[in-house]
Amino acid sequence: MNYEYLKTFYIVCKYKNFSKAAKAMYTSQPAISRIISAIEAELNVKLFFREKAGVKLTKEGEAFYKTIEQPLNQLERLENELPNVENVFEGIVYMGATVTALSCFLFDLINDFSQKFPKVHYRIYTGSSSSILEMVRNGMLDIAFITTPFQRSSDFKATNILEIDNVLVGGEKYKELAEKEMSIRDLTDYPFILLSNHMQFRAHMNEFLQKNNVFIKPSIEVDSSSVIMPLVERNYGLAFIPYEMAKESIRDNKAYLIKLKEDIPIRYVTMVTSNTTNQANVVSDIEKYILKNNKIV
């Protein structure tokens, strides 16, 4: 059990209230509840009784509190004397990301995080932009990285941090298409691999096609961009994909870039945090680090 878990339990005992403990720790009440549930699961005991005014320790909770009270008191005093000492301790940041955001941005950034925040651990959840936003809204995620377009809300602070260059690619079977510049209108008879209609990238590409008076009925529809390139490499059809996700296949001559006369609209990786809950210090540090190095004006 790491220090952040023990500290969370200690603070809840101190305030006897999840909401007050969350405020004191600059985090959300669901995050506090999640940690307490994890501690109870690990110890296989119930630590608190829930009451209208807050919480009360169970007999097992009191015994656990007596065990950690003295060392946690000492550490709290040390933190007050050395404000940055918390960076020494281990913590967990709950992140959400779309597959595209993971591939185009977050994989590379995790390496930077591991050096900048060596004692921090990460739990990464993937899904659609809408499902990840809902997890941020409910306090299940501290920070998220999704891709435009998405429905913006006053509940969130959203900042574009990376441009996504979308391209059209085909496998070896369609190599000749890469030898000259093509119009999208010349390609409507070819098989296409597209994301499902409920996916944001599909909506983005549908707007592009409609703008150019083109209708494409896909031969294959998938629900994740992570399976597009394997299908392209096996010559199942042409596909729109972020260049970052296609570059290795293009480099290895497993896929070929088809240049279009029309410009495919740019998308963005967007960093999202909650506007309605306070953040843990390490999350604020991560957010500031990303904004300093990646913010798009």
Whether 80 and 112 map to the same domain: the answer is: no
Whether 80 and 96 map to the same domain: the answer is: no
Whether 120 and 207 map to the same domain: the answer is: no
Q: Which of 87, 109, 140 is the last residue of a domain?
A: 87
- The pLDDT tens digits for 110-136 are 877 777 777 788 888 888 888 898 888
- Domain span including residue 229: 166-264
Number of structural domains in the chain: 3
Give CA–CA dist 25/19, Å, rounded: 10
The residues of the chain scoring below 70 in pLDDT are 1-3, 73-90, 277-280, 295-297
CATH of the domain at 46: 1.10.10.10
pTM for the predicted model, two decimal places: 0.63
Whether 158 and 274 map to the same domain: the answer is: yes
Using DSSP's 3-state secondary structure scheme, residue 235 falls into coil
- The alpha carbon dihedral of 88, 94, 100, 101 has a sign of negative
Model pLDDT, residue 83: 47
Whether 173 and 151 map to the same domain: the answer is: no
Model pLDDT, residue 87: 46
- Here the tokens at position 59 are 């007999």
Whether 22 and 70 map to the same domain: the answer is: yes
Q: Token match 């429905």: residue?
A: 151
| Count of beta carbons in the 10 Å neighbourhood of residue 96 | 27
Q: Which of 54, 87, 120 is the last residue of a domain?
A: 87
Give CA–CA dist 7/54, Å, rounded: 18
Whether 72 and 216 map to the same domain: the answer is: no
Q: Kind of pairing, strands 120-126 and 267-274?
A: unpaired
Whether 156 and 289 map to the same domain: the answer is: yes
Whether 133 and 276 map to the same domain: the answer is: yes
Question: Going by C-beta distance under 8 Å and a sequence separation of 6 or more, which residues neighbour residue 271?
Answer: 143, 144, 145, 158, 159, 161, 287, 290, 291
Whether 154 and 174 map to the same domain: the answer is: no
Give CA–CA dist 10/6, Å, rounded: 6
Strand partners, 194: 221
